Each structure stands twice: as C-alpha cells, then as structure tokens.
C-alpha cells in the first residue's frame, strides 16, 4: 500500500481487532435484518465534521448524506442526476426515517466562499453553481450583520443557511406529505468545531438554542 495511506491501514487493523469485535453481533444483525436508521443526517463534507462521533451514533443509526455546505437543492421533477435528492427520497420513502437533521458547522469553507469573488473555470463550474444554494442566507446576513465582525456574520450565515435548507426540504413531495401527516420531523443543527457544542433551530422562537438543554 502507498505509504501515504499507511496510517489508515493501521487504523483499519485496529478497527478489526477492537471496535468490530466489540460490535460483531450488531453487524451480523444489520446484515440479516437490513438497515433501519433512526434519522437522515445531511451534513457537510468537511473532514472535521464526523456525524457518528458528534452524535454518538452506532452502526445502523444514521443514513448520512454529505456535500459541500450541507446544502439541499430544491426539488426538481426531471430525470437528471441528483445525488442529494436521491438520498432524501430513499431515506424518506424507502427507509421511512422518522427524522431529518440538517447540520451546519462553524468555520465552514462553503459559507466563507459565498463572500469571495471566485472566477468560474472548467475546474470549479459545479462548485460555483452549488454555492448558489447559500445565496439567500448570505443576503440576510449582509442586511443583519454588515456592521459586525466577519466572524459574527459568517456564524450567522452558517445558521441561516441551515434554515433555508430546511425550507428546501419541504419542496420534496414525500417530505412535505410526511411532515403534514406528523410522521416525519425536520431538525436544523449547527455544530461548533472549536468547542464541540451543537445548537438547534427553535422554529417557534426563530433562534438557535443549545441542544443539550432540550
């Protein structure tokens, strides 16, 4: 194996000898019975954000989708390729999860990119288009925090983006139907990488509150 990946090889060996053996029966059960995750977790691809670690989830607990900026594109009834949309449909209609979590995070590169002038090239065309999904959050942040520090404005944008992605989720027919039926619940989270805390969006008071105080 390439020496650059040697640490992953060692990590895999440690996983087999310790963690896999500790959960061997659980893995056997997951194979025999199939998956029945509790929630769909839509998070950022950022390497510092690890859904299972920050939630304490076990194998089989989370159906995870990760993309740049933890964005959710609005539903589009066409036959094109839609990776995140496909995962949402599968989780909601096939796996029938009861909850969807959209989790943003601090120091998000995608959100920071919204405030930069980036020239479009053949090498970033899809990324530039994808970042449009954060435009509304940026607009609100510029109005509310244009006189504050950059850090304050970025944290606010990260959180507002989560709220807009929740709105986009409701454009999916299956999501809208199940939310209306009371069989599916949407949650907006923001994870702070530096202090490890998660806040959740309280849609009754329009603010983010500490998750651990719920």
Tokens representing residue 60 in the block: 């089989």
The CATH number of domain 35-213 is 3.40.1050.10: yes
Instruction: Give me the mean pLDDT over the 98-107 stretch.
Output: 98
Q: Which two tokens stand for residue 173?
A: 């027919």
CB-CB contact of 100 with 174 (8 Å): no
Q: What is the dihedral of CA 78, 80, 85, 91, to 10 degrees?
A: 90
Comparing 13 with 145, the larger pLDDT belongs to 13
What is the pLDDT, as a whole number, of residue 1? 57
Domain ranges (residues) in the chain: 1-34, 35-213
Q: Please give the average per-residue pLDDT across 97-126, as a whole number.
A: 97
Number of other CB atoms surrounding residue 58 within 10 Å: 12
CA neighbor of 95 nearest in space, from 184, 167, 177: 184
Q: For the whole prediction, is pTM greater than 0.85? A: yes
Of all residues in the chain, the percent with pLDDT exceeding 70 is 98
> For 185-211, what is each residue's pLDDT tens digit?
999 999 999 999 999 999 999 999 999
H or E, element range at 198: strand 198-202
């Amino acid at each position: 194996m390439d020496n650059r990946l040697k640490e992953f090889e060692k990590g895999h060996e440690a996983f087999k000898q310790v963690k896999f053996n500790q959960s061997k029966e659980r893995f056997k059960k997951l194979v025999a019975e199939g998956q029945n995750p509790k929630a769909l977790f839509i998070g950022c691809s950022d390497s510092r954000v690890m859904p299972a670690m920050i939630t304490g989830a076990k194998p089989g607990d989370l159906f995870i989708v990760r993309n740049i900026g933890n964005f959710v594109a609005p539903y589009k009834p066409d036959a094109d390729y839609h990776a995140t949309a496909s995962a949402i449909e599968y989780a909601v209609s096939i796996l029938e999860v009861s909850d969807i979590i959209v989790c943003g995070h601090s120091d998000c590169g995608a959100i920071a990119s919204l405030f930069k002038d980036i020239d479009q090239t053949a090498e970033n065309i899809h990324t530039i288009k994808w970042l449009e999904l954060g435009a509304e959050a940026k607009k609100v942040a510029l109005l509310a925090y244009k006189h504050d520090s950059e850090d304050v404005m970025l944290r606010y944008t990260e959180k507002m983006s989560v709220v807009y992605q929740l709105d986009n989720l409701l454009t999916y027919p299956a999501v809208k139907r199940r939310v209306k039926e009371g069989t599916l619940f949407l949650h907006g989270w923001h994870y702070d990488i530096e202090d490890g805390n998660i806040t959740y969006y309280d849609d009754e008071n329009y603010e983010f509150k500490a998750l651990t105080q719920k």
